[in-house]
Chain A
Amino acid sequence: MIPQLNIVSLVNTVAALSDNCFNGNLYMADNSRGAKTTGQGTDALCTQVQFAQVLNWHAWAINVQMDIEICDIRWYQNGALITDPAQEPVTKSKLYGAPSGDYWAAVIDKQTGEYQYQLKFKMAGEEMWMNSFARIYIGN
């Protein structure tokens, strides 16, 4: 098991701000290499994870002249937004600072299950939720 998983969101920030939408402007990839990981390079990445694994979300702008950061994450199960933090599949979800750029990290807190999530990005002072849903699959 890879102790720390990285999920990278590559964003065409200029196009996303111009379209006011992430459709076609967001590409996600991870280093999980799980058999159930799918959608690498798309905006609907499904990452296979396991209990107690650390997940790091990074955001990078294709247009490097513009900063981008992840400012929030929200979880769904079976299409319904999770409002009780205890029901979320992760704990200790927070933003960390690093010389190479801030990133969002959390620890997988459930043994099995499939959850959807959305990331909120901040670009040029503007905050926007991703339009698609990414997923995690917890289990073997």
Chain B
Amino acid sequence: MGQLAIVVTVDQQGALASGQLAGNIYLIDNNKHAGSTSEGTEDLVTHIEGSQIMNWLVLGLDLQGPAVTLENVCGEAVEKGIMVPQQFESPELGAGLGLWWGATVDSSEKEQSYSYTLKFKIGDKPMSYDGQIVVKKGFSNVPSKPCGAHKK
């Protein structure tokens, strides 16, 4: 089982104009085969089988606009110890992509849904997004850390 990636695409100017991420954020993961739903929308529900590493990759649609950065990962899944996030850096990634947030997610005996929160900054303005994961029992093969990464 490979690592799970969630690409978070943000329309920064749209978010700043409306004061919220709703309607201006699109999420896609590479786990549709495991049951993830609402790919390409802000309602993405990521299904995770077994313990897994997940990575959030944040991209701004306004390439000429203010930077969008993920500042923290928190919420129910983190508070309950299901998701353990941390920030990584990779010398292999450049162009401002050198830092990213990843997490290990624990396996569950029975299928269970958890919410989590991504805390962003667009320019200087903080904004948050509430996402959802569904964890289920499955084969676990978690490496000690993401490939090519070391803890910041």
CB-based contact A6/B62 at 8 Å: yes
Residues on B with beta carbons closer than 8 Å to the beta carbon of A99:
94-95
Cβ contact of B5, chosen from A8, A27, A30, A64, cutoff 8 A: A64
Interface residues on A, range: 20 to 34
Cβ contact of B26, chosen from A24, A27, A58, A62, cutoff 8 A: A27
Interface residues of A in 1-58 (CB under 8 A from B): 2, 4, 6, 8, 10, 12, 14-15, 24, 27, 29-31, 33, 40-42, 56, 58
Interface residues on B, range: 20 to 34
In the complex, B106 has a CB within 8 A of chain A? no
Interface residues of A in 58-100 (CB under 8 A from B): 58, 60, 62-65, 99-100
CB-based contact B64/A4 at 8 Å: yes
CB-based contact B14/A31 at 8 Å: yes
Residues on A with beta carbons closer than 8 Å to the beta carbon of B97:
100
CB-based contact A27/B40 at 8 Å: yes
Q: Check A33/B14 contact, CB under 8 A, given A15-B30, A62-B29.
A: yes
Query: Within the complex, what minimum Cβ distance (angstroms) separates A10 from chain B?
Result: 5
CB-based contact A100/B63 at 8 Å: yes
Q: How far is the CA of A33 from the CA of B61 in the complex (A)?
A: 11
Cβ contact of B63, chosen from A56, A62, A63, A65, cutoff 8 A: A56
CB-based contact A58/B28 at 8 Å: no
In the complex, B20 has a CB within 8 A of chain A? no
Query: Within the complex, what minimum Cβ distance (angstroms) separates A53 from chain B?
Result: 13
7 A–B contact pairs at CB < 8 A?
A: A2-B13, A15-B33, A29-B9, A29-B40, A40-B40, A41-B40, A99-B94
